[in-house]
Amino acid sequence: MESESNAAISALAALQNRLKELECEKDNLENEVAHLKMRMDKKESSILLREQEIIKITTRAENMVLNSSKTLSEINDLRKENCTLNSQIRDLEELLNDSKSKLFLKNTKRQNDKIEIEMLNNKILEYEFLLSILFQSPQLLKNFKSKSSCDIDLLPMDLRRIAKRLLSLPTEYYSQPIEIKREIIQGLLCTREITSKLSYDIHKLEKQASSNSTPRYTTIEMNTLINQFKTLSGIMKRFVFSPH
């Protein structure tokens, strides 16, 4: 009887020990689960941050592609406009030269035909008037007040070369031989294209400055372009296409 009691006590003690072991294993498992859950939460947070960064990068890339497409489209439009202007200038020059030739012949052969001579003169004046309109000094969309004037020697090399070329030409277009007239037209066409591009860049920088919390650098760059624009457009004003 006593041996059975001792065996029962031993069995109970073994069960209690096993219970303690199982409780210990349970605590360990719970700790491991909590640790794994914490790691999983960190992983999920990291994945969420990466997804947000990818969305931002994708959006930025899409905006860059869109802006590039718009810029290329505007540049193509400017080139088409320049080609159209070149064609118009060639047509005007041919008409002008043709009119002058006709005027000379008519004046030699028919000195008394003053009416026809006056009509031809009027045509020449009309052509020269069209040129004066075509090469009017360009204006900015907004009247910017630049803090300083731009010296020609401070212009970028390509702009400085064009500016000096225009300054070296006579200002009275109407009284020049055809070779000089062609040089004036080519110089003005080139300057017109540059000032159109400067105007576009100034307008774009103005938008950036208004949306930028620290626009100081943008403003400095914009003032530089404004001074370049005003310098070149001022040189364009020098030329006179009609004696009246």
pLDDT by residue, tens only, the chain of 244 residues: 667 677 777 777 777 777 777 778 777 777 777 777 788 778 777 787 787 888 888 777 677 767 766 766 777 777 787 778 777 778 777 776 777 777 666 656 666 556 665 666 666 666 666 666 666 666 665 666 654 456 788 889 999 999 999 999 998 988 899 899 889 989 998 999 999 899 889 888 888 877 765 556 677 888 889 889 989 988 988 888 877 6
Question: Taking a C-beta distance cutoff of 8 angstroms, is the pair 127, 100 a contact?
Answer: no
What is the maximum alpha-carbon separation in the chain?
162
Give the per-residue pLDDT at 90: 80
Rounded to whole angstroms, the Cα distance separating 93 from 119 reads 18
Phi, psi of 73 (to 5 degrees): -65, -45
Give the per-residue pLDDT at 50: 80
This prediction's pTM: 0.47
- Domain range list for the chain: 141-244
Give the per-residue pLDDT at 210: 73
3-state SS assignment for residue 136: coil
Question: Taking a C-beta distance cutoff of 8 angstroms, is the pair 239, 212 a contact?
Answer: no
Residues with Cβ within 8 Å of residue 139, at least 6 apart in sequence: 233
Q: At what angle do helices 157-167 and 216-236 cross, to 10 degrees?
A: 20
Rounded to whole angstroms, the Cα distance separating 198 from 50 reads 40
Give the per-residue pLDDT at 139: 66
Q: Which amino acid type is present at position 90? A: R
Residues with Cβ within 8 Å of residue 234, at least 6 apart in sequence: 137
Neighbours of 192 (CB within 10 A): 22
Rounded to whole angstroms, the Cα distance separating 7 from 236 reads 118
Give the per-residue pLDDT at 119: 63
